[in-house]
Amino acid sequence: MALTLHPELLEALTIHAGVEIGNAVFYLSAYSWARANGWEGFSKRWKNDAFDEFAHAQNFVKFIARYNVAINAEPKIRPMPEPELGQTLLGLAALAAALEGMTEESMRDLLRVAEGVGDGAAVEWISGKLLDQQKERKKADDFAARVQDAAVEPGCLVILDRKLERGGW
């Protein structure tokens, strides 16, 4: 582990922590929308996703803290797509998949910065997180496809919602 954190890498890590917080905010609003519209299973899933995203943000902050540097920067929250009133489950699931794709891109940017400044320990740590994110993006893609299939058949979204309420799909 390098003793100091390159300012460019600190900036990129901070930006990415902001991306994770933005994801949490998105999932929280999807959760509220689903809850308000009587979709208990979807709301449960998106609430869990929101907590996962807060944990991801925390991981990045903890990583920065390992370097024992004073953090002067604040997480920069990029504009995120927001679920709007009247949006559908289908739309929210598709937005979530798009968001996970953007998050993967943000991590690739971060990895490039770590490589650029030659911080091997950071490259290794970020590579592990990128692998996790690729799995998460795949999961979000599968979920969006599943919701899309269910939306075609009458009643299938209700069945999917009940499955989600039981914690599976």
**What stretch of H or E contains 25?**
helix 7-36
State the minimum distance, in angstroms, from the CB of residue 118 to Fe ion: 26
- Between 26 and 67, CB nearer to Fe ion: 26
**Does residue 129 interact with Fe ion by CB under 5 A?**
no
State the minimum distance, in angstroms, from the CB of residue 150 to Fe ion: 21
Binding residue for Fe ion, selected from 13, 24, 30, 136, defined by CB under 5 A: 136
SS3 label, residue 145: helix
Using CB under 5 A, count the residues that bind Fe ion: 4
Residue at shortest CB range from Fe ion: 56
Binding residue for Fe ion, selected from 6, 16, 56, 129, defined by CB under 5 A: 56
d(CA 136, CA 78): 20
- Residue pair 142/102 in contact by the 8 Å Cβ criterion: no
Nearest to 5 by CA among 73, 53, 78, 58: 73
What backbone phi and psi angles, to 5 degrees, belong to 85?
-55, 135
State the minimum distance, in angstroms, from the CB of residue 107 to Fe ion: 9
CB atoms within 10 A of CB 101: 14
State the minimum distance, in angstroms, from the CB of residue 23 to Fe ion: 5
Residues that bind Fe ion (CB under 5 A): 20, 53, 56, 136
